[in-house]
Chain A
Amino acid sequence: MGKTEIKYHVRFHLKSRVDFQALQKNTSIELFTSSLRKIDDKNIIIDAYIPAMLLKELRNAYYFQILGNVDEMLAEACKSVSKTNRFKK
């Protein structure tokens, strides 16, 4: 995934393990297996980062929600990073 590409944080609702494996093969998609939740034997919820250029293609194949723009989310989070050193005496 190129550094300048826009990425989206999404939540996939997959209907089979085959879908999961297909997404896993695409190295442009970063799947977060730790977020994986099994609804039943087939249905899976899993979060991922996807490049904006794949948005349309993936929309045609899978159901997912967009949780946010990754860079924007990170920029917001960076505001919460300490700019000082509270342990320094």
Chain B
Amino acid sequence: MPFTPYLNTDEINTALQQFAADNPGLCTLITLPNLSFEGRTSYALKIAGGAAVSRKGVLLLGGTHAREWGSSDILVALAEKMIAAYNAGTGITFQGKSFTSAEIVRIIENIDVFIFPNVNPDGKVYTQSGHDWRKNRRPIGADIGIDINRNYDILWDATTYFNAALDFSYLYAPASSNYHGPIAFSEAESLNVKWMLDNYPNIVHAVDLHSYGQKIMYTWGDDENQENTVEQNFMNSTYNGQRGLSGDAYGEFVFKVDQDRIVSIADRMHNAIFAVRGMSYSVGQIFNEVGVDSGSSACYFFSRHFSDISKRKLFGYGIEWGAAFQPASSEMLNIMDDIDSALTELCLCASEPELFIRDSLSDTGKEPSEGILCMSPDIITRKTAVPDPAAAFGDVTIDPGSDRVEIGNDNYIYVRVHNHGGMQTSAKVRVYFAPLTTSCSPALWQFIDEIDVIDIPAGGFKVTDAVVWPHVPDPGTAGHFCIIAICGNTIDPIPDTSMIDSASDYMKFVSNSNNIAYRNVTFEDVLPDTWFDIPFVMRGFSSKPEEYNLVFEAPLLPKNTLVEMKLRRTLLFDKVYRVQIDKRAEIKNIQIPSARSINCRLRIKIPSRELIKKNCSIVVIQKIGNQNAGQFTVYF
């Protein structure tokens, strides 16, 4: 593509409108609701093809800072190339880095790519008429402009949140190029970005393009990241006045799985840039790369799911492209390749396997899910192991239901794990149970087992092997168990549950994370198969066959306790006696050959769970006539 001059605001708008008009099944023009101070309308473009219903979103922002013109060009060029490649069935090559046609299809047909290339149109118009400018153009008293990238609602009032040793006068001075505005989200431009996130809750990655510095940056920006102390977070006023200093006790909390994923994606963007023509962008945390950060987009993006657990987790990045605000034409073209390569790689990351366990039959994996949450059709319990679970539970249009869980016995749990990403994948599934409770806090969850499930096909599902729930314990309550299944892998990690501390949080979490589902399963309130199995030997004493009686004495056992006794008479034939015990029971006329031993098996079935808790016993007495020939006692 020959270099085209820097796009002006009208041209950017026309580009988006034309892409949407020319590709009605592929592109959607989004009109942002807030006009700029000078009355300009902002637009975004959604690129999404194929029939997939449940899709992640990637939001790519440019043009926040007025003089950083190239951000808009980078994004319009990316949209143009993606659309052209998808329509033509080709790949995209950025000098030394190529993406195959299959990868482009994977992106377009599995995720929503949102491109918002000119966040601050007034600023761009002003600077492209020969004025150096960073902010928007709204007057504030005698001064003009608010720095949009200091106007987001994350640690906005810096003097409250940060250490007093740090000077933030530049944020509060309207004349400053970093003036953060009268309040957070005071500006149409930042509100438009927020509107995108609020109206497209499937967005899970967002990148804000800036210049310059050749950096790929990730959250947090207020202090060093730490993974151990959840209480140290931007919402906790206890730590106001402590943030912002390197090497002290305060660090901003991030879950390790998130940190690993964030860094992994940033590294992949770095490698995608490097492959174009060898440019090596530095990769690091905002705080380490550019210092303390207040009210910025990337941190706001990532903060949203901490502030409101019902919001989907959104990873925020900032890319500072190039080494000048308005590089020469030839260099800008190279930078466009560099950054478009990184953003395409990011979209590939987003199109990678997406695991989910359905909350209901109508759940498509979309987050948040809607409808009933407590009856996942993908969590299936059985009293006995199923020989071929893939066949037995292979029709995902039906709910196989769940057997009642039997207290005291082994039960078997199967989980159907779905993958609506564009690649086959594997996962780990963790299964927990919780007793009947008003607040199913993870603190109440008891781990049952973890199982690997491999080769989950793209767009398909797989049934796990049996997760054995051994000797299901007495829950001590009436009603049901809650069985919770959580799946994840390195790309779509098992979600963190430590932020859940109320029933409301739990429900929001389940709705908002498609990696987790649960099912309430009724348990049997009796112990039909709680058999105590007691092998013993009966021996005849005489040289000729004799008949014996067996007497069972168990005064603490309930009347309807069933005693079953098997006598191994021959290899092929067992004699089975069954009696109901009522303090005392007797099996009469058991024939024992002369001086022989008979292997016996006493099985006692006790129907009342309460009685197990008592120290009851059964005495087994072998009698001949009225005389004791021997006895033993079993304690329960």
**Which residue in A74, A80, A85, A89 is a CB contact (below 8 Å) of B130?**
A74
Chain B CB within 10 Å — which of A36, A77, A82 has the most? A77
The reply to whether the CB of A21 lies closer than 8 angstroms to some CB of chain B is yes
Check B130 against A75 for contact (C-beta < 8 Å). Answer: yes
Interface string of A38-49 (1 = CB under 8 A from B): 000000000001
Interface string of B1-26 (1 = CB under 8 A from A): 00011111011001100100000000
CB distance from B402 to the nearest CB of A (A): 55
**Which residues on A sit within 8 Å (CB–CB) of B211?**
34
CA distance in complex: A32, B325 (Å): 11
Check A87 against B290 for contact (C-beta < 8 Å). Answer: no
Given A24-B167, A78-B130, also A88-B14 (CB < 8 A): yes
CB distance from B146 to the nearest CB of A (A): 15
Check A34 against B8 for contact (C-beta < 8 Å). Answer: no
Check A32 against B212 for contact (C-beta < 8 Å). Answer: yes
Interface residues in B63-106 (C-beta closer than 8 Å to A)? 67, 69
CB distance from B293 to the nearest CB of A (A): 9
Interface residues in B153-169 (C-beta closer than 8 Å to A)? 166-167, 169
Check A25 against B132 for contact (C-beta < 8 Å). Answer: no
The reply to whether the CB of A13 lies closer than 8 angstroms to some CB of chain B is no
Check B291 against A80 for contact (C-beta < 8 Å). Answer: no
Check A82 against B215 for contact (C-beta < 8 Å). Answer: no
CA distance in complex: A4, B246 (Å): 39
Given A33-B291, A71-B132, A74-B132, also A80-B11 (CB < 8 A): no
**Which residue in A7, A21, A30, A81 is a CB contact (below 8 Å) of B167?**
A21
**Which residues on A sit within 8 Å (CB–CB) of B69?**
77, 81
B171-179, B227-235, B348-356: which lies at the interface = B171-179
Check A34 against B10 for contact (C-beta < 8 Å). Answer: no
**Which residues on A sit within 8 Å (CB–CB) of B10?**
85
CA distance in complex: A34, B10 (Å): 28
Interface string of B174-199 (1 = CB under 8 A from A): 01110000000000000000000000
CA distance in complex: A1, B69 (Å): 22
**Which residues on A sit within 8 Å (CB–CB) of B18?**
87-89
CA distance in complex: A33, B328 (Å): 22
Given A77-B326, A78-B130, also A27-B176 (CB < 8 A): yes
Check A25 against B290 for contact (C-beta < 8 Å). Answer: no
Given A24-B167, A33-B291, A80-B326, also A86-B213 (CB < 8 A): no
**Which residue in B5, B177, B290 is a CB contact (below 8 Å) of A30?**
B177
Check B132 against A35 for contact (C-beta < 8 Å). Answer: no
CA distance in complex: A21, B290 (Å): 13
Check B167 against A82 for contact (C-beta < 8 Å). Answer: no
**Which residues on B sit within 8 Å (CB–CB) of A32?**
212-213
Check A27 against B173 for contact (C-beta < 8 Å). Answer: yes
Check B127 against A34 for contact (C-beta < 8 Å). Answer: no
Q: Which of chain A's residues has its CB closest to B127's CB?
A: A74
Q: Which of chain B's residues has its CB closest to A7's CB?
A: B132
Q: Which of chain A's residues has its CB closest to B217's CB?
A: A34
CB distance from B219 to the nearest CB of A (A): 16
CA distance in complex: A86, B14 (Å): 9
Check A81 against B212 for contact (C-beta < 8 Å). Answer: no
Given A35-B213, A80-B6, A82-B7, also A70-B132 (CB < 8 A): yes
Interface string of B558-589 (1 = CB under 8 A from A): 00000000000000000000000000000000
**Which residue in A1, A21, A36, A77 is a CB contact (below 8 Å) of B213?**
A36
CA distance in complex: A1, B213 (Å): 23
The reply to whether the CB of A3 lies closer than 8 angstroms to some CB of chain B is yes
CA distance in complex: A35, B217 (Å): 13
Interface residues in A26-64 (C-beta closer than 8 Å to B)? 27, 30, 32-36, 49
Interface residues in B207-237 (C-beta closer than 8 Å to A)? 210-213, 215
**Which residues on A sit within 8 Å (CB–CB) of B256?**
none
Q: Which of chain B's residues has its CB closest to A44's CB?
A: B291
Given A24-B170, A27-B175, A81-B6, also A34-B215 (CB < 8 A): yes
The reply to whether the CB of B329 lies closer than 8 angstroms to some CB of chain A is yes
**Which residues on B sit within 8 Å (CB–CB) of A35?**
212-213, 320
The reply to whether the CB of B614 lies closer than 8 angstroms to some CB of chain A is no
Q: Which of chain B's residues has its CB closest to A26's CB?
A: B170
The reply to whether the CB of B289 lies closer than 8 angstroms to some CB of chain A is yes
**Which residues on A sit within 8 Å (CB–CB) of B131?**
3, 74
The reply to whether the CB of B438 lies closer than 8 angstroms to some CB of chain A is no
Chain B CB within 10 Å — which of A7, A80, A87 has the most? A87
**Which residues on A sit within 8 Å (CB–CB) of B328?**
80
Interface residues in A11-31 (C-beta closer than 8 Å to B)? 21, 24-25, 27, 30
Check B329 against A34 for contact (C-beta < 8 Å). Answer: no
CA distance in complex: A85, B212 (Å): 26
**Which residue in A33, A74, A86 is a CB contact (below 8 Å) of B11?**
A86
Q: Which of chain A's residues has its CB closest to B174's CB?
A: A27
Q: Which of chain B's residues has its CB closest to A20's CB?
A: B291
CB distance from B30 to the nearest CB of A (A): 17
CB distance from B99 to the nearest CB of A (A): 24
CB distance from A71 to the nearest CB of B (A): 7
Chain B CB within 10 Å — which of A1, A32, A34, A78 has the most? A34
Check B290 against A85 for contact (C-beta < 8 Å). Answer: no
Instruction: List 11 A-B pairs, Cβ < 8 Å.
Output: A21-B166, A71-B130, A77-B69, A77-B325, A78-B128, A80-B6, A80-B329, A82-B5, A82-B8, A82-B11, A89-B18
The 5 closest A-B pairs by CB, nearest first: A77-B326, A34-B213, A33-B290, A34-B320, A82-B5
Interface residues of B (CB under 8 A from A): 4-8, 10-11, 14-15, 18, 67, 69, 127-132, 134, 166-167, 169-170, 173, 175-177, 210-213, 215, 289-291, 320, 325-326, 328-329
Q: Please name 18 further chain A to chain B contacts, defined as beta carbons within 8 Å, in addition to the given A32-B213, A87-B15, sorted by A numbering.
A: A3-B131, A21-B167, A24-B167, A25-B169, A27-B170, A30-B177, A32-B212, A34-B210, A36-B213, A70-B132, A74-B127, A74-B130, A75-B130, A78-B128, A81-B128, A82-B6, A83-B8, A86-B4
